[in-house]
C-alpha cells in the first residue's frame, strides 16, 4: 500500500514505515502530524485518485528531525564585464516517518 501526498509544493510517494525529508514543517520533535492533501492511494489493484485531493483521506506521520540540507553554491559571471558574484544557500527540511495511511 502506498499513497501520493503533496506537501511544501512537492509530491511524494510514501509507504508506511518510510522516512523522508520534506520542506520545513512547523512542528515539535516526536509529535504526530496529519497530511490531508492526499492525491492518490493504491492498495494492490484498488486505486483511488482524487480530483485534486481524496476527501477524508489522511496520512499520519511523526516528526523525526529538523535540519538544513547541503550547501548549494551559486556562481554568476558576465564575461568581459568584470562581474562575478558568489552566493550559497542551505534549505531547511523536516524529516518525517510515515506511520499510517487512511
The predicted pLDDT at position 12 comes to: 97
Task: Dump pLDDT digits (tens) for 31-41.
Answer: 999 999 999 99
The predicted pLDDT at position 34 comes to: 96
Low-confidence ranges of the chain (pLDDT < 50): none
Signed CA dihedral, 99, 20, 5, 2: sign only: negative
**Which residues make Cβ contacts (< 8 Å) with residue 67, sequence separation at least 6?**
92, 93, 95
Indicate the burial class of 52 (C-beta count within 10 angstroms; 0-12, 13-18, 19 or more).
exposed
Amino acid at each position: 500500500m502506498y499513497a501520493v501526498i503533496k506537501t511544501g509544493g512537492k509530491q511524494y510517494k510514501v509507504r508506511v514505515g518510510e522516512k523522508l525529508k520534506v520542506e520545513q514543517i512547523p512542528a515539535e520533535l516526536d509529535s504526530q502530524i496529519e497530511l490531508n492533501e492526499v492525491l492518490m492511494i493504491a492498495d494492490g489493484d484498488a486505486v483511488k485518485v482524487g480530483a485534486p485531493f481524496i476527501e477524508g483521506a489522511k496520512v499520519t506521520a511523526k516528526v523525526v528531525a529538523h535540519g538544513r540540507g547541503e550547501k548549494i553554491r551559486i556562481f554568476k559571471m558576465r564575461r568581459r564585464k568584470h562581474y562575478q558574484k558568489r552566493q550559497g544557500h542551505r534549505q531547511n527540511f523536516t524529516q518525517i516517518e510515515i506511520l499510517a495511511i487512511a
